[in-house]
Structures are given as structure tokens and as C-alpha cells.
């Protein structure tokens, strides 16, 4: 995995070459329900993310599970087989006609415009993604269609389903440290809501 240097802000000139996708979840074993349909401040998680992405990208895909009614976008059904983030990534890269795709998981309802634009502006690579204290975040990342799709397809065929493992075969550009802090000073934009406890903390802190 090879990291790339920092570049100047080029978000405005790059938006037209990128489409976006919300990776819808199923009945998560840890949450016990479909996370896409959970709500925060009056909107479903998937709806919040799709609405935000729609402000910047001409095409927003909804891939994987069933989309709630307030999530606006072009529906993509996963190919047959066990559902996984890698299968969702392959499905959207197969369907997209853009050079790059920003993939965001439905359990990141606090993603912000500032983070989205920072990723778009970051130096291009096969994968552009943030790194928090918990590590790399491949479920909020920009994937280069031409280079990533063959690797992702091969990994899926070989039942190597880890997105982290996929990164080992690709060139990555990482937004982290002080640069990530500038666009996410509270450290919340990449919060993963995976359990009922996570959801309770999110709801309790929504007015802070």
C-alpha cells in the first residue's frame, strides 16, 4: 500500500468526474435492524447521506439493501451472493459511468460537506480515504473505477471479502492527522453507528 503526497484544493474541477453511492445495510446482527432506516433528526441515515451527496454529485446511487423512502438516488441491486461491502462496491463500479465513485456506508449519518469536499480535493489515487484514530476508513472513500474494479472483482471471486485487504493491492491517498482535523474538528463525521449503544450516544449528543 503506497501513500501519496498532499495536493492543493481541486474539488471544484473534480466533482464532474465523480459519482456517489450510499452503501445500504441489511439487518445488522449487532444493531438488530436495518441501519439504513434508522433516523437521526427526522431523516433516515441513508436519506441524510444521499441528500448531502446530492448537493455535490450529479448521480447518487443506492446500492445493496432496501432504500428508505426519503433516500433519493438511482437504485442498484447487488449481484447474487452473500451481501458484503465488497459486493456492493463491485456492483456500483460495474454500474457507474463516471471515472471515480465516492462510496459512503449508511451507518455514517454525520458525514459532512467539508469532509466530502476534502476527499474530492485530495491527491488522486486508486483509492482516496480518511484515516482516524481507529484506522483507515474504506467505507467512506473515493474509488477509481478503471483500476479498482478488476481487483475488487478478483477478490470477490476468490471470496476475499475484506475492503481493508483490497487496499493492499492498490495505490492509496490518505487524508488524516491535522488535515482531517481541519475539516472534522469534533471528530464526528466518520462516526460508525453499529450498535444500539452507538445509536443512543449519537442521539444524546445531537445538540452538543
Geometric angle at alpha carbon 147, from 165 and 141, rounded to 5°:
60
pLDDT by residue, tens only, the chain of 208 residues: 545 444 445 687 789 999 999 998 754 544 445 555 677 777 888 999 999 999 999 999 999 878 888 889 999 987 776 778 999 999 999 999 999 999 999 989 999 999 999 999 999 999 999 999 999 999 999 999 999 999 999 999 999 999 999 999 899 999 999 999 999 999 989 988 776 666 666 665 554 4
The residues, any chain, with a CB within 8 Å of residue 7's CB and separated by 6 or more, are 121, 122, 123
Nearest to 101 by CA among 88, 114, 82: 88
Q: Say whether pTM exceeds 0.85.
A: yes
Domain ranges of the chain: 12-203
127-132 and 135-136: which strand pairing?
antiparallel
Instruction: Tell me the β-bridge partners of 142.
Output: 102, 128
Say how far apart CA 153 and CA 72 lie, in whole Å.
27
Spell out the CATH class of 12-203.
Answer: alpha beta
Amino acid at each position: 500500500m503506497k501513500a501519496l503526497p498532499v495536493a492543493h484544493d481541486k474539488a471544484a474541477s473534480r466533482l464532474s468526474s465523480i459519482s456517489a453511492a450510499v452503501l445500504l445495510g441489511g439487518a445488522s446482527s449487532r444493531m438488530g435492524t436495518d441501519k439504513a432506516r434508522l433516523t437521526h433528526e427526522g431523516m433516515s441515515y441513508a436519506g441524510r447521506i444521499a441528500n448531502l451527496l446530492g448537493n455535490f454529485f450529479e448521480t447518487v446511487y443506492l446500492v445493496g439493501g432496501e432504500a428508505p423512502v426519503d433516500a433519493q438516488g438511482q437504485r442498484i441491486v447487488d449481484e447474487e451472493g452473500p451481501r458484503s461491502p465488497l459486493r456492493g462496491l463491485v456492483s456500483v463500479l460495474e454500474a457507474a459511468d463516471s471515472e471515480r465513485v465516492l462510496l459512503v456506508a449508511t451507518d455514517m449519518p454525520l458525514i459532512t460537506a467539508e469532509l466530502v469536499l476534502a476527499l474530492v480535493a485530495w491527491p488522486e489515487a486508486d483509492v482516496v480515504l480518511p484515516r482516524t484514530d481507529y484506522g483507515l476508513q474504506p467505507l467512506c472513500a473515493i474509488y477509481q473505477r478503471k483500476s479498482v474494479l478488476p481487483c475488487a472483482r478478483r477478490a470477490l471471486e476468490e471470496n476475499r471479502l475484506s475492503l481493508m485487504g483490497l487496499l493492499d493491492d492498490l495505490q492509496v491517498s490518505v487524508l488524516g492527522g491535522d488535515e482531517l482535523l481541519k475539516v472534522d474538528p469534533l471528530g464526528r463525521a466518520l462516526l460508525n453507528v453499529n450498535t444500539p449503544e452507538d445509536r443512543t450516544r449519537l442521539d444524546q449528543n445531537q445538540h452538543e
